[in-house]
Amino acid sequence: MQTHKSLVSKYLFIVAVLICAFVLMMGFKSSEDTYKPTRHTVTIFKMKFNPEHLVVNKGDTVVWINKDFYQHDVTEMTSKKWTSKPFNQGESWSKVITGDIKYYCDLHKVMKGTITVAK
Amino acid sequence: MKTKARYKLTVICALVMATSGLMMAQDAPKLTDPEIASVAVVANQIDIDYGKVAIKRSKNKEVTDFANRMIEDHSAVIDQAVALVTKLGVTPKDNAVSQSLMSQSKETLKKLNSVSKKDFDKTYIDNEVAYHEAVIGAVKNVLIPQAQNSELKDLLEAVLPALEAHLGHAKMAQSKISK
Ligand SMILES: [Cu+2]
């Protein structure tokens, strides 16, 4: 009697461990392996970046599309660390986002925007 | 001090003239689309002409960058306007407003060409601020409300934010120069 009971509980314990392991693996899979970076679009139109403020995940790509008949650029604002160089109507420029960004158009210095990485 | 006061007076005079010109335009028979097209082309060409003087006379990168931007952007507007009137089959028509803009610009060009090198940057940028303010007023209050063709209206509405961006940019340069 005693041995039969302990066998059942041993069996149940193993099943529980297997389920736990399975759930954990699924969890890791969805959070690490299956996250696909997304592409976001910022439209440049009528002298504005739209959306002006954008929140993305680390590793996402942002594409800026110029819909104005004026040239624009996308330039890092604090120290001009990087720039797209001027691009024309119908052209676009993209960047993989690894951290928060403040940018502006160096041609039209009043045009500004931000990219924030979601925490 | 004396030149500064004289300059202020000139700007005020120019603004009064521009405003009265606009008032007349509002009272006078409305501007037709071909006339609006002419005003648009002339107003853009004037700022290109100012920019060309600035590139020739200024040594300040802030000023020459701004002037180059004015030449590029206002040329782009003229290209759009020409493409539109060609498409619509209309010929821009000379009128009182474009003539008054022209004659004022001749005075300003004379001043920009004759002012001392030392005073050039400030004279140019102060004029850019005043000129963009006046043109924004004209586009907003006269040209857009009076334009009949919807594509012409759309074009003028696309020009307005650029003029405002230029004004903001000119004011930034102005505050740096006067320091
Ligand atoms: Cu721009």
The secondary structure of A53-113 as a DSSP string is EEEE-TT-EEEEEE-SSS-B--EETTT---B---B-TT-EEEEE--S-EEEE-SSSTT-EE
- A73 vs A11, residue with greater confidence: A73
* Residue A98: Cβ within 10 Å count: 10
CA distance B77 to chain A (A): 8
Domain count, chain A: 2
Q: Are residues A48 and A103 in the same domain?
A: yes
Q: Are residues A55 and A97 in the same domain?
A: yes
Q: Are residues A57 and A27 in the same domain?
A: no
Report the CATH number at residue A60: 2.60.40.420
Interface test with A, best of B44, B61, B69 (most A CBs within 10 A): B69
Where are chain B's structural domains?
2-177
Instruction: Classify residue B52 by burial, with Cβ atoms within 10 Å: 0-12, 13-18, 19+.
Output: middle
Q: Are residues A28 and A69 in the same domain?
A: no
Give the tens place of pLDDT for each residue, B48-95.
999 999 999 999 999 999 999 999 999 999 999 999 999 999 999 999
Among A99, A101, A2, CA closest to A42:
A101
Give the tens place of pLDDT for each residue, A33-86.
567 899 999 999 999 999 999 999 999 999 999 999 999 999 999 999 999 999
CA of A108 to the centre of ligand 1 (A): 4
Q: Are residues A17 and A30 in the same domain?
A: yes
CATH superfamily placement of domain B2-177: Ferritin, core subunit, four-helix bundle (1.20.1260.10)
Q: What is the pLDDT of residue B11?
A: 44
Q: Are residues A78 and A21 in the same domain?
A: no
Whole-complex ipTM:
0.80
User: Rounded distance, CA B178 to CA B172, Å?
Assistant: 10
Q: Are residues A29 and A44 in the same domain?
A: no
pTM above 0.90, yes or no: no
User: Rounded distance, CA B6 to CA B123, Å?
Assistant: 12
Q: Are residues A19 and A57 in the same domain?
A: no
In eight-state DSSP terms, residue B31 is: P
> Domain range for residue A16?
1-34
Q: At what angle do helices B33-57 and B150-177 cross, to 10 degrees?
A: 20
Q: Which residue in chain A has the smallest CA separation from B67? A: A107
CA of A78 to the centre of ligand 1 (A): 17
User: Rounded distance, CA A114 to CA A41, Å?
Assistant: 13
CA distance B3 to chain A (A): 30
